[in-house]
Homo-oligomer: A and B are copies of this chain.
Amino acid sequence: MNDFAKNALLPNGLRDILPLDAEFEADVVSRVSAHFSAQGYDRVKPPLIEFEDTLLDGVGAAMAKQCFRVMDPVTQKMMGVRPDMTPQVARIARTRLAGSPRPLRLSYAGQVLRVKGSQLRPERQFGQAGIELIGIDCPEADAEVAILAAEALVALGVPGVSIDLSLPTLVPALLSGLNLAEETLRGSLDHKDAAAVLALGGAAAALLSALLQAAGPAERALSLLAGLELPEAAAAERDRLAEVVGLIAAAIPEVTLTIDPVENRGFEYHTGISFTLFGQNISGELGRGGRYLAGGTEPATGATLFLDTVLAALPGPVAVQRAFIPVGTPRALAQALRAQGWVTVAGLQAVADNAAEAKRLGCGHVLMADGVKSVE
């Protein structure tokens, strides 16, 4: 079979992960999950598929277009394959775990599937691993989820982890405080079009321009923001941001913090401090997070890591030592090798040259009568 045929067998954006990458990915998920559980986040596992109406309810609505639907032959109701896990965890918190004490800390790791890829993420199936901190609205909670997500990346060895904080409620609070409509300005703000903002901003033009200019390293941004005369609600948002940044910087000073005061793309359902995680040697987002209302009513915040991008940001897997076990070797000897951390590959039929067979099967060593020998 030629290469085209070999590769043409799977739909766009879906792929097979081969050795050694599949093992590496599983190991990364394990380590991220362990990092979260060590800080009290208990794992939950929602199903891959749910009734469409519950899956796409509330915060789930943002991903509705990305959700494959199928009909449930049992009830004839439509079901959806999950495009995102956060809404499912929020559902669990407000239903199955409604009686659990707050703040409730939950973690998750699993695959999601989307109808179409995007330019930034062509993959239609990818892994998410994340946390939700539910039932409390305070700067310490905002900071905790960002810190945990960033720490997890640092611990994995992602170089140059940075957190870009956003406050998607700031601009609306500012405009509302000045009785201005957001729609005309949203495009200009998204494109960081300073001239258009000045032209269209009306009474808010100066403040919005200042916000645009404040984007960048957190210390400078906060300093600029501190000097702005903001309406009360917007000022409270800004002060909260400053407090959260302070908490994060104190906890993980090695992580670069930046602020973008006007950014809100991808944060449509967020109700407070939000953030995106980046690494220095990778384009694309390593993760996202932020404050929202679970079930429309309960304060929550969380963070999700996108495992495909995280894996791309890491040095690849290191090959493990493999020892070939010739036919007839007592089982106990091979077991003893494995207990020492070797991977063993058993010969199934006798061969003339065990060392050659070991090499053929990708083993750097062979178990002989007098111990393990290198075959290089």
Residues of A within 8 A of B (CB): 1, 5-6, 9-23, 25-26, 30, 33, 37-40, 42-51, 54, 68-70, 72-75, 77, 79, 81, 88, 91-92, 94-98, 101, 103, 105-106, 108-109, 111, 113, 115-116, 125, 136, 138, 140-141, 144, 251, 322, 327, 331, 338, 342-346, 348-349, 360-362
Chain B residue nearest in CB terms to A73: B115
User: Nearest Cβ distance between residue A95 and chain B, in whole angstroms?
Assistant: 5
User: Nearest Cβ distance between residue A56 and chain B, in whole angstroms?
Assistant: 13
Chain B residue nearest in CB terms to A109: B26
Known: A72-B11, A343-B40. A45 touches B16 (CB 8 A): yes
Q: Quick one: copies of this chain in the complex?
A: 2
Complex Cα spacing A21 to B30, Å = 16
Complex Cα spacing A20 to B97, Å = 12
User: Nearest Cβ distance between residue A333 and chain B, in whole angstroms?
Assistant: 13
Q: Is the CB of B47 within 8 A of A125?
A: yes
Chain B residues within an 8 Å CB radius of A349:
136, 138, 140
Chain B residues within an 8 Å CB radius of A116:
73-74
Contact of A17 among B18, B26, B45 (CB under 8 A): B45
The 6 closest A-B pairs by CB, nearest first: A19-B42, A40-B345, A17-B45, A22-B45, A14-B47, A22-B43
Contact of A44 among B18, B81, B98 (CB under 8 A): B18
Chain B residues within an 8 Å CB radius of A19:
42-44, 106
Known: A39-B343, A70-B68. A15 touches B101 (CB 8 A): no
Q: Is the CB of A70 within 8 A of B72?
A: no
Complex Cα spacing A21 to B18, Å = 29
Q: Is the CB of B74 within 8 A of A15?
A: no
User: Nearest Cβ distance between residue A124 and chain B, in whole angstroms?
Assistant: 8
Chain B residues within an 8 Å CB radius of A101:
360-362
Known: A11-B51, A26-B109, A45-B16. A348 touches B95 (CB 8 A): no
Chain B residues within an 8 Å CB radius of A43:
19, 22-23, 26
Q: Is the CB of A37 within 8 A of B14?
A: no
Q: Is the CB of B91 within 8 A of A338?
A: no
Complex Cα spacing A101 to B358, Å = 11
